[in-house]
Structure 1
Amino acid sequence: MNVITIRYYAGARAAAGVGEERLPAGLDLTQLVKELSTAHGDRLGRVLLSASFLVDGLAWHDRRAPIPSGATVDVLPPFAGG
């Protein structure tokens, strides 16, 4: 399986216009953000600047580490609430 699954939540889902999509494996987080911003436009690009990313349920902070093939990436925009 040489793909990764991207799942969008809340405002990221609205900005992307889809709840989920697949992309080729081998991207790091910086490349993924660039690819998604290009594919979906500035609205999603702005959301991605402040979003958190989980890879297979774990916070992913190293923007240069390759995302493993078969992984699921959750895009979590900042949430408001109390």
Structure 2
Amino acid sequence: MEPRPLTVRYFAGARAAAGRPEEVAAAGRSLDDLTTELAQRHGDRLAAVLRVASFLVDGVACHDRRAPLPGGATIDVLPPFAGG
């Protein structure tokens, strides 16, 4: 059975750079692999955001960008926010 696809949700500047609020991507990869694919798909503007963004995997901060992402996971892309 094929793993369920990932849902990638973009917030703030990541949403503007991707040109959409969310999209799906194939499962069976790491966060590093996923961000490389997303940068290639959407270009330099999103690539720049992805380099400085934080990521949540099913609501939990992802610290190991080489670990396999679980099928069906939701990946939130959170760029740095201004303010304080």
Same fold (TM over 0.5): yes
Structure 2's unaligned 5+ residue stretches are none
**Does 2:77 correspond to 1:75?**
yes
Give the TM-score normalised by structure 2: 0.95
User: 1: distance between equivalents of 2:74 and 2:29?
Assistant: 13
Number of the residue aligned with 2:29: 27
Structure 1's unaligned 5+ residue stretches are none
> Percent same amino acid at aligned positions?
65
Runs of 4+ in structure 1 over 4 Å off? none
Letter in 2 for 1:50: V
Number of the residue aligned with 1:55: 57
Kindly provide the CA deviation profile for residues 37-57 of structure 1, in whole angstroms up to 9, marking residues without a partner as x: 000000000000000000000
Number of the residue aligned with 1:4: 6
Number of the residue aligned with 2:18: 16
Give the TM-score normalised by structure 1: 0.97
Structure 1 residue 27: Cα displacement: 1.4
Letter in 1 for 2:68: P
Q: CA RMSD in A?
A: 0.7
Q: How many residues align?
A: 82
Letter in 2 for 1:19: P
